Each structure stands twice: as structure tokens, then as C-alpha cells.
């Protein structure tokens, strides 16, 4: 299994309609290709974890780098670990948001919420991916003054 974590900056602050479209397309494509993961948003900041077989993830990352809806795509982790189980095995694309956006978008996008996300992060305390996600959440909660939803 391969895990990729990247962050990017959206060209605009995405509204519920835009995020609904992004998640719908991602969930359908990910289901077809055996990709799992989570998308976190904090205003214009995105962080995404992708898990799956290397070939589909490499094709997906090529598409992400070419997507003009965001810029500053920065890979934080690229890890191949056949012995690791998928952290997000139950979600083709889970979603959580931080800040005012979380309250505005919550019901429309069926976010996983803080408890399930925190349970995943707690279940894998030594995984680099979880340390990176905890850092993203903590930094943006301080910056935006709100917990993930």
C-alpha cells in the first residue's frame, strides 16, 4: 500500500457546491480505482491523504498537479509500506473542515466529524500520516479558532 499526503491552496474559498462536486467526483473515481482517503479543508488550505496501490495514486497525483482549481501542491509524505493497513479503509473520500467553513458546510457535505477522525488518528499514533494530520488540524484550529467538524 502507498500513502500520499499533500497540501495545496485553493484558488478561492470553496463553497458547499464546489466541495460537493469535488467530493462526488473524487468518491466515484476513488471507488473505481481502490483509492481511499480524507480531505481536510481550512478556508483555502487543503490537506489530503490518499491510500491505495501505487499506479492509481501516481495517476491521481498527476491529475492533482494539473488541476487549476488550486496551486502550491506540496507533498508532505510519500510512503510505500506493504505491511500498513489503510487508515481510511471505510472511506473513498472522507471529509472534515476547520473554522467557520465547517459550520457553514457541515450538513451539506456529510463530514466525518471530529470523533471519527480523532479515533483514526488515535488508532495509529506512530504513523507519520497521523502526525502530519494532527499538525494541520492543530495549526488551523489555532489560526481559525474552531475545531474540525
Q: What pLDDT band is residue 53 in, cutting at 50, 70 and 90?
A: very high
Q: Where are the alpha helices (DSSP H) in 3-145?
A: 16-33, 54-66, 100-109, 114-123, 128-144
pTM of this prediction?
0.82
The three grid cell numbers given for residue 102, joined into one nine-digit string? 465547517
What was the pLDDT predicted at 115? 61
pLDDT digits (tens, 9 = 90+) for 58-78: 999 999 999 988 899 999 999
| pLDDT at residue 110 tops 60 | no
Question: Is the Cβ–Cβ distance between 134 and 121 less than 8 Å?
Answer: yes
Q: Which three cell numbers stand for residue 71?
A: 496551486
What CATH number should be reported for the domain whose range is 2-144? 3.30.70.100
- Phi and psi for 57 in degrees, rounded to 5? -70, -40
Amino acid at each position: 500500500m502507498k500513502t500520499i499526503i499533500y497540501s495545496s491552496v485553493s484558488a478561492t474559498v470553496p463553497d458547499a457546491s464546489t466541495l460537493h462536486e469535488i467530493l462526488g467526483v473524487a468518491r466515484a473515481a476513488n471507488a473505481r480505482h481502490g483509492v481511499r482517503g480524507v480531505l481536510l479543508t481550512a478556508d483555502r488550505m487543503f490537506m489530503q491523504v490518499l491510500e491505495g496501490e501505487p499506479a492509481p495514486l501516481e495517476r491521481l497525483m498527476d491529475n492533482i498537479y494539473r488541476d487549476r482549481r488550486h496551486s502550491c501542491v506540496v507533498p508532505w509524505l510519500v510512503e510505500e509500506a506493504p505491511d500498513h493497513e489503510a487508515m481510511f479503509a471505510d472511506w473513498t473520500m472522507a471529509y472534515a473542515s476547520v473554522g467557520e467553513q465547517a459550520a457553514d458546510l457541515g450538513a451539506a457535505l456529510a463530514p466525518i466529524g471530529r470523533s471519527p477522525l480523532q479515533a483514526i488518528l488515535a488508532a495509529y499514533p506512530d504513523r507519520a500520516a497521523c502526525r502530519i494530520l494532527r499538525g494541520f488540524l492543530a495549526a488551523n484550529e489555532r489560526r481559525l479558532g474552531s475545531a474540525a467538524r
